[in-house]
Amino acid sequence: MIATGLGLLAAADGDGRHRSTSAVWWSAAMGAGIALGPLLTGVLDLAGAWRWFYVGLALAGTLLYALAGRVLPVEPPAERARRLDLVGFTLLTAFLALLVTAIVQVRAGGPVLAAVLLGGSGLLLVALGLSQRRPQRLVDPGIFTHRPFLGATIAGLGTGLGIIAASSFLCTVLVRAVGLSTFQAAGVLAAWSGTSALAALALVRHGPRIPGRVQLTAGLVGVAVGLVLLAGVGDPVSAWRFVPGLVVCGCASGLLNAGLARQAVATVPGGLAATGTAANNTARYLGAAVGISVASVTAGTDLLAGWNRVALLAAACSLLAALAVAWLSRGERAPGVAGAPTGSWRTAAE
């Protein structure tokens, strides 16, 4: 739903002038969900009923399905998207599965098997690239020649490798090393996720005036600063030690998420908004899947010392992504959000 939600929003909002504002609301809703979901799960866990959270998700999804047919526009048959690229989908999924398994296998102490799996993931990645030369494909490779789109995609990848991976691992640290309950850990983590939702809401009115590339760069740098503040903990440590860094990460994440949502829509032609948002969010959670796996290997058995390494590594990933976005933004003169792609790719896409 994260990968497709913003695309659905762009399709439902027929007025392109409102899409930037809608994207900011979407990013705020996502931050609020990340804050409230763990809290609700923590409450259920106190009662020994955390599994019921999945039942609640299923019921909520069923309700949304029933309501969506009434509130969302239905595309005419002539305008339906092309068929799903099953070959590309399979290769992408298999690539990620082998890559994550190879990383986990390093922790399990099987270097030979890890190397074999890593080599297999590399072959699958090459096969995926070759498969995208076909007319029926996941995405037109030419879209990555547009620097603003490439920058937004790298920012999404850096977000997954950075703050999402680190915050996911932090829950384990808070419960197993600090000794908090799952509800208490969710409350601490809300200092990041809740703040990100509030920061995104603060940008509803003023955010569209900030160039998208500035939002991405500043957001990633801010996240890196917050992650550095989260490092350097020792034993024993209080949960309050993590709050200042999480608040900094939350403010930066609100700016970053709003920028990602805007740029994902703004850096592709209007008719390909769903492609832009899907590619951006897929990059974000590909990065998260790899980042969480790397965190588990980097941490080792001493969770607090391992957390320090994880936080600094995530900060480095965020900073590298910020530098890449800044480099790809060279020469942009547009005062607002980057415009749609130009040149042969745009002509072919339209």
DSSP letter, residue 268: S
Q: Please provide the average confidence, as pLDDT, over all residues in the chain.
A: 83
> What is residue 266's predicted lDDT score, i.e. its pLDDT?
77
Residue with tokens 């600063």: 225
pTM above 0.75, yes or no: yes
DSSP helix, strand, coil percent of the chain (3-state; round to 5): 80, 0, 20
For the record, the structure tokens of 167 come out as 């915050």
| Rounded mean pLDDT, 286-315 | 90
Q: Is the pLDDT of residue 338 over 70?
A: no
Residue 214 pLDDT more than 70? yes
User: Strand, helix or coil at 346?
Assistant: helix
Dist CA 255 CA 208 (whole Å):
11
Cβ–Cβ under 8 Å, residues 303 and 177: yes
DSSP of 2-13, one letter per residue? Answer: HHHHHHHHHHH-
Tokens 């809740």 -> residue: 194
Which residues lie closer than 8 Å to 276 by C-beta, 6 or more apart? 7, 149, 152, 264, 265, 267, 268
pLDDT-wise least confident of 104-118, 167-181, 331-345: 331-345
Q: What is the per-residue pLDDT for 222?
A: 95
pLDDT tens for 26-76 read 777 887 888 888 888 888 888 888 899 999 999 998 998 888 877 766 665
32-41, 244-253, 268-277, 341-350: lowest mean pLDDT where?
341-350
| Total residue length of the chain | 350
Please compute the mean of the pLDDT values over residues 79-89 and round it to a whole number.
76
The residue that leads in pLDDT, 326 or 270, is 326
CA distance 202 to 114: 45
Separation between Cα atoms, residue 295 and residue 106, nearest integer Å: 12
Give the mean pLDDT of 4-32. 71
Task: Provide the residue ranges of all domains of the chain, joining segments of one domain with +.
Answer: 17-44+142-340, 83-135
Residue 24: is its pLDDT beyond 80?
A: no
Supply the pLDDT for residue 106: 84
Instruction: Yes or no: say if 300 and 62 are a contact pair by the CB < 8 Å rule.
Output: no
The model's pLDDT over 134-185, given as tens digits with 9 standing for 90+, comes to 888 888 888 888 888 889 999 999 999 999 999 989 988 999 999 999 899 9
Residue 127 to residue 35: CA distance in whole angstroms: 38
E-strand ranges in the chain read: none
For the ranges 120-129, 139-148, 290-299, the lowest mean pLDDT is seen at 139-148
- Name the range with the highest mean pLDDT among 142-151, 196-205, 258-267: 142-151
Query: CA 102, CA 97: separation in Å to the nearest integer?
Result: 9
Q: With CA atoms as reference, report the closest residue to 23 among 213, 207, 286.
A: 207
70-74 long-range contacts, Cβ below 8 Å, gap at least 24? 72/8, 72/12, 73/11, 73/12
pLDDT value of position 343: 40
**For position 348, what pLDDT does the model report?**
37
Instruction: Give the architecture-level CATH label for domain 17-44+142-340.
Output: Up-down Bundle (1.20)
What is the Cα gyration radius of the chain?
20
The Cα–Cα gap between 315 and 220 comes to 9
pLDDT number for residue 350: 38
Could you give the CA distance from residue 219 to residue 255 in angstroms, rounded to a whole number? 5
